[in-house]
Amino acid sequence: MNNNEWIIQIQSGDKDAFRRFYEAYSGYAIRTASAITRNREMAKDAVQETFIRVFRQIESYNPNLPFDPWFYRILTNECMRLLKKDSAYSKFEHPDLENDPSLPVESVNRLSNLYEVIQSLDDTQRIPLILKYVKGFSEKEIADILDLNQNTVKSRLFKGRKRLQDQLVSTEKEDA
């Protein structure tokens, strides 16, 4: 079922359609929220609140616009709200990397290093990088999601990539 069919059904009060929508989106939402918040428990809270907000605000969604940027804007805003509210959450852990027996140890170590470097970036650079390279949003969509000018997004992506590259090079030198 495509997003427009779900939205029409959800707008008409179909709770089963909302359940199917939740099942389809929740995994992606939790991974994205985990990357933004750096904390799996906070991410789950953000996702839960996001789906409640989507259900309550589905009437305000314009079906002529793409759905994903609308949804991820709500998710990102919820993550940021929780981060501001409670900064006492622990460091984010990435269980997908830790529990995948098909990955060689060297690959897990490299991915773990990459993930640590990404997580060490400032939110202003880290979140656009996640939305661009993990979620696949365009700069325009990221600008809409984060309520920024598109040139600001481009600048943050450029600076984020540069910091990421610099930190990865210095990490590799330390490991050598």
Domain locations in the chain as residue ranges: 1-89, 94-176
> What's 94-176's CATH class?
mainly alpha
pLDDT tens digits, one per residue of 111-158: 667 777 788 888 899 899 989 988 889 999 999 999 999 999 999 999
Residue predicted with more confidence, 100 or 175: 175
pLDDT of residue 168: 78
Q: How close are the terminal C-alpha atoms of the chain, in Å? A: 50
DSSP states of 104-146 as a string? -HHHHHHHHHHHHHHHHS-HHHHHHHIIIIIS---HHHHHHHH
Q: List the structure tokens of 52.
A: 């409640």
Residue predicted with more confidence, 21 or 110: 21
Question: Taking the CA atoms of the chain, what radius of gyration do you get in angstroms?
Answer: 18
> What's 1-89's CATH class?
mainly alpha
